[in-house]
Amino acid sequence: MVRISVLQHAPEQHLPTRPGDPTPQSRNLNPLMHPFARARERKRALNAAKMDRIFAKPFVAALEGHIDAVETMTKRSDSLVNIASGSWGGDIILHNLTTRQITQRVPQAHKGKVSGLCYASADRLLSCGVDRTVKLWSAGDDGSEGSLTQPLNVFPGKAAFNAIDHHRSDGLFATASNIVQVWDETKTSPISNLTFPTSTETITALKFNLAESSILASCGSDRTFTLYDIRTSKAERRVVMQFRATALSWSPTLPTLLLLASEDHNLYTFDVRHLDRPTQIYKAHVSAVTSCEWSPTGMEFVSGGWDRTVRIWQFKDGKGVQRPEVYHTNRMQRVTSTLFSGDARFVLSGSDDGNVRVWKANASEKLGVITARERAAIEYRNKLKERWAVDSEVSRISRSRHMPKTIRSTDKLKHTMLEAKRVKEERRRKHTRAGEAKPKPEKKKIVVAEQT
């Protein structure tokens, strides 16, 4: 007795039952059914990397309106579209990001430059200037373009103001001049003066902590940054560094993490519990960094510098530093202020040429409606890039960036100088008695002194 069975496929199982139905798919995961699986996957990764570079068109729009360099920008915390910017000419402009139009304009808000801006609440804007006044403006979003002439309130000061920041919950704000002053919105004189004893410096930037809102950090012209507590009305700690810090920003997710932009071309993150050294050094700029801000997600931050570039860094929480994304255009001059939009999808930069530019935070992101299939394809491509990142060809393509010649040559020169410095130090160490000159870790070179 012989039993015979011959393979036969039932067509009704493999064909759509009605016209228009999707064709049934069958799978066999046996690796022998998929020859060259790895080679094909690598090819797909290569294509993904190439597509990423092809579609990397980060520039979205330039918001015009200022006739002088943009000095400062701020965003409204409860809205994704409202942005205010102040310029060296003394005017303040309120932009709408979706319509890309000016909602309000305040010509001659201050005499001289507007040095600081912040929203006091949804419809009130605080500005400070070098004309030694802080002004409170009504910034209601009524949808029509108008110009304001009269502030709601004026707070006179004794010295030119450099920065301003509002308290997260209370009606308080802090200003930076030669001292840090805390003001009540309802009173015309400061309620307290904060200064580190023995300090005679000019404060250039200050920010309230986002989690513990009575903590305040500032940086000054004496190569220092200082932490204050407004409840005790005194400076808690002060750190003297090798170079001056120009801007600072508190992490929105990690309450003790402070980001500093420094004049030595680097950015630093400090954990304020351990002020003797930064947790990470971020090197890429080829000139002084003038501004920095965290993304609202706390996963990345943006910095703008004197080298006319905007860079976006991934924050990897102590797991090293990735090369930052870098944005530049021909007409963008030195970047004085940078901002992340509230949804973390866009980056704004204000520069010396008087424009506020809007960039995508992810250069090759597609704007507009994305279908589910497209989303799946994008996610697959991202995973492939991540998986094959160590492949030399894939990494070469995804690393490549076109840079202006000036920046490239400056970068090269900088590298040469640093290398020469390192070699010199090494030689010096080689010719001193063994064990006498130990190499100092770079993180430990940053902080000169920590004062309490």
Partner 1 sequence: MDSLFAKADAVKPLAKRRKTSHKASQNGSNSLRNAGKDSANNDYTAQSVTKHTSVPKSLLPTPIESSSGKLPKYSHIANKKLRGELHRQSAHNARAKALVDESADMLLVEDAGKIEVEGEMERTWRVGQDEIVQSAGQEATKGRKELRLDGGPYRTRYTRNGRHLAIAGHHGHVATFDWQTGTLHTELQLQETCRDITFLQDQTFFAVAQKKYVYVYDRDGVELHCLKAHIEPTRLEFLPYHWLLASVGNAGYLKYQDTSTGQLLCEHRTKLGSCTTMTQNLHNAVIHLGHQNGCVTLWTPNLPHPAVQLLAHLGPVSSVSVDPSSGGRYMATAGKDGTVKVWDCRNWKGVVREWSVRGSGSETEVEWSQRGYLGVTSGGSVNVYTPPSISQPFNGHVPPPLYLTHPIPSRPLTSLRFTPFQDVLTIGHNAGISSILVPGTAEPNFDSSEADPFESRKARREREVKSLLDKIQPDLITLDPELIGTLVEPSKLVTSDGKPATDTPYARLPRFDQLRVSGKVDTTEDPGSADEATGGGDGEGIDEEKKQQLREEKDKKRMRGKNKSMKRYLRKQRKNVIDPATVAIRAKLEKMKEEKRKAILAKKGIIEEKKKPSALDRFKRKA
Q: Which residues form the interface with partner 1 (CB under 8 A)?
A: 1-11, 14-16, 23, 25-29, 32-36, 38-40, 42-44, 47, 209, 211-212, 215, 227, 229, 236-237, 253-257, 271-274, 279, 317-318, 391, 419
Edge-first strand listing for the sheet containing 180-184? 163-166, 172-176, 180-184, 192-194
Cβ-based nearer residue to partner 1, 215 or 292: 215
Could you tell me the sign of the dihedral formed by the alpha carbons of 283, 286, 291, 297, in that order?
A: negative
Our CB check for partner 1 shows the closer of 257 and 289 to be 257
Q: Which is nearer to partner 1, 252 or 404 (CB)?
A: 252
For the CA atoms of 60, 64, 70, 73, the dihedral, rounded to the nearest 10 degrees, stands at -60
Closer Cβ to partner 1, 106 or 219, answer by number = 219
CB of 452 to partner 1, least distance (A): 10
CB of 415 to partner 1, least distance (A): 9
Among 140, 257, 278, 244, residue whose Cα is nearest residue 207 = 257
Q: Per-residue b/e over 375-391, b at no fewer than 16 CB within 10 Å?
A: eeebeebeebbeebeeb
Taking the complex as a whole, how short is the minimal distance between the CB of residue 421 and partner 1, in angstroms?
A: 12
Q: Which of 269, 317, 308 has its CA nearest to residue 289?
A: 308
CB of 400 to partner 1, least distance (A): 19
Nearer to partner 1, 34 or 399 (CB): 34
Considering beta carbons, is residue 123 or 317 the nearer one to partner 1? 317
Q: Give CA 443 to chain center in angstroms.
A: 22
Outline where DSSP puts E strands in 113-256.
114-121, 124-129, 133-138, 146-147, 153-156, 163-166, 172-176, 180-184, 192-194, 203-208, 215-220, 224-229, 234-241, 245-250
260 CB-near residues (< 8 Å, 6+ apart): 219, 225, 245, 247, 248, 267, 268, 269, 270, 278, 292
Residue (280 or 362) nearer to partner 1, CB: 280
Residue placing its CB nearer to partner 1 in the complex, 77 or 256: 256
**Least distance CB 146 / partner 1 (angstroms):** 40
Least separation in angstroms between residue 417's CB and partner 1 is 13
Rg over CA atoms, the chain: 27
Residue 39 Cβ vs partner 1, minimum distance, rounded to whole Å: 5
Continuous segment of H or E residues that includes residue 13: helix 11-14
The answer to whether the beta carbons of residues 334 and 308 sit under 8 Å apart is yes
Report, in Å, the least distance between residue 209 CB and partner 1.
7
Give the nearer residue to partner 1 in terms of CB position, either 317 or 365.
Answer: 317
Distances 132 to 114, 218, 288, 395, 421 between C-alpha atoms, Å: 10, 19, 27, 52, 44
Q: How far is the CB of 392 from partner 1 (least distance, A)?
A: 8
